[in-house]
Amino acid sequence: MITPIIKITILKQKIAHIALVVDDYDEAIDFYTRKLNFTLVEDTVMSVEKRWVIVAPTGSNGCSLLLAKAASDDQRSRVGNQTGGRVFLFLHTDDFERDFQNLVNQKIKIIRGPACEPYGTVAVFEDMYGNLWDLIQPAT
């Protein structure tokens, strides 16, 4: 009897970038790198009007943000409200107090102050455009 050979394919996928629609590349880079302490990973000119701009939390090797300048009225209408008012992005930290204090020091608008939840300590803040973020130190 001949045993059939079964080929199993294991997919390896990950989300590499999330596009964040912005009004201006340089002001967005400034906010994310100077106020949130993100790293500018890449800033490549693609054309006169388009750049490939990637920022990521310092020390992260996961998903990053692609800062995408709004190119139409429809896109401009989404700046700051890509999720209809829901929290859009979730920033995990290993030191909630340090990073929350940085938000306060940088005068970043806090929407909901620190709370202890079953999944960790969390606060909601607004980026420069009004997108809502959770700052979370996961429960151990």
Residues 56 and 100 in one domain: no
Task: Say which CATH number the domain at 102 has.
Answer: 3.10.180.10
Q: Which pLDDT value is given to residue 96?
A: 98
In terms of DSSP bridges, do strands 64-69 and 110-117 run parallel, antiparallel, or are they unpaired? unpaired
- Residues 72-129: pLDDT tens digits? 999 999 999 999 999 999 999 999 999 999 999 999 999 999 999 999 999 999 999 9
- Is-contact 100 94, C-beta < 8 A? no
If you count them, how many residues does the chain have? 140
Percent of the chain clearing pLDDT 70 (strictly above) = 99
Q: Domain containing 130: what range?
A: 81-140
Q: What is the DSSP letter of 5?
A: P
Torsion of CA 102, 104, 106, 110, to 10 degrees: 110
